[in-house]
Structure 1
Amino acid sequence: MSTVRLDDGAVLDAARACVLDVGVRRTTLADVARRAGVSRMSLYRRWSGIDELVGDVLTRELHTLTGDALDGDRAALVARVVEVCEALRRHGLVRKIVDVDPELLLPYVLRRRGRSTEAIVDRLTVAILAAQAGGTVRQGDAGLLARFVLLTAQSYVLSAGAVAADAPAAGLPGELATLLDGYLRP
């Protein structure tokens, strides 16, 4: 009996497409399997359910947007965080989840951090340590600073639409940059 190796990339692409079509709650592993051209049982061997699969899709998307490293001084760090926040705020998958299935975000906003969040905090911590060594970011616990940068960024990505209704959207990135720069400034 031969075993066909599951192409995670194709499955993640199929899951992404399904979520963009109908949202997370209305996407099933059967839908993803059909779209990916694999058996549903193959998916269950790899993922425990749709939430875990969508978590992997989001991890891949966030990794693609954030890249591997945040290098440079405070100005470069702030600029990159703002750039990623703007990309996430307009990202189709993130928008779909915020618009259709916002309740899925509550555990990550209120109680816990996921794998993607941990990876981002780790990268921010490394970048903050480097900027502290260069004297462009204030001294303090780099991990704590990274968590507060993430908290600010997360709030911006998920809530900027509420502010944009009353303020020019074009000014929002500048305000985020001002806030982050002031927080990190020595």
Structure 2
Amino acid sequence: MTSIRHKAYLEAARECILDVGWKRTTLTDVARRAGVSRMTIYRAWPDMATLLADLMTQEWLVMLGAVQSSTDQVPTPRRIADGMIAALGALRQNPLLRRIIELDPELLLPYLVDRRGRSQEAILDFLLPQIIAGQEAGTIRGGDPVVLARTLVLAAHGLALSAQTMADGAITEQDLSTTFAELITGGLTP
């Protein structure tokens, strides 16, 4: 299967999930929306869980790529914080994630309590070199860069998935993001 076709099938799955949610979407629905046979979809994905994992990974990586800062600058705590806040803002506004949280939030639970997913690994793969480069340049504090990167991802989970539970008339999601950026900056400053 070509990459273009693969993306078209994932886009069909995305549209189905946005329409009715993951639980109510079948591989047959995806095939129908993509205009291909069921077997074409079944050859690529044995079940909806596998398809959803590929869809979420594609969705989050495209979004992460859109907010990545220039790699020709020395990473600083503020640049890392700004990049994370931009990514988290985009993620919180992402229609697919919003729909999953609205209709099928239990799909996210394994990635919060049991294991890291491919998307989380990709985020770590993006953060780790920045932290190492910043440590080598003296702009990021010492410490195990893997632990620092994983801690940042863990802390970001709450802001990505639960910011609306802490925002109210007095405190906005932007207030929470600003404070989180200050925590990141303070925590990474030498």
TM-score bucket (shorter structure): over 0.9
Equivalent residues of 2:159, 2:177 under 8 A apart: no
**Does structure 1 residue 137 correspond to structure 2 residue 140?**
yes
Match of 1:53 in 2: 51
Cα root mean square deviation, aligned: 1.7
Match of 2:120 in 1: 117
Task: Provide the rounded CA distance (Å) in 1 between the counterparts of 2:24 and 2:186.
Answer: 42
Task: Provide the rounded CA distance (Å) in 2 between the counterparts of 1:156 and 1:88.
Answer: 10
- TM-score, length of structure 2 as denominator length: 0.91
What amino acid maps onto 1:67 in structure 2? G
Match of 2:23 among 6, 25, 29: 25
- TM-score, length of structure 1 as denominator length: 0.92
Equivalent residues of 2:77, 2:186 under 8 A apart: no
Equivalent residues of 2:9, 2:30 under 8 A apart: yes
Flag as ranges the 4+ runs of structure 1 deviating above 4 A: none
Cα distance, 1:169 vs. partner?
2.7
What amino acid maps onto 1:78 in structure 2? A
Match of 1:99 among 70, 78, 102: 102
Identical aligned pairs, as a percentage?
44
Task: Provide the rounded CA distance (Å) in 2 between the counterparts of 1:36 and 1:67.
Answer: 26
What amino acid maps onto 1:105 in structure 2? L
Equivalent residues of 1:16, 1:93 under 8 A apart: yes
Match of 1:182 in 2: 186
Cα distance, 1:170 vs. partner?
2.9
Match of 1:152 among 152, 155, 160: 155
Equivalent residues of 2:128, 2:149 under 8 A apart: yes
Match of 1:83 in 2: 86
What amino acid maps onto 2:89 in structure 1? E
Q: Would you say how many aligned residue pairs link Structure 1 and Structure 2?
A: 183
Task: Provide the rounded CA distance (Å) in 1 between the counterparts of 2:134 and 2:24.
Answer: 44
Task: Provide the rounded CA distance (Å) in 2 between the counterparts of 1:55 and 1:77.
Answer: 26
Q: Secondary structure at the match of 2:115?
A: coil
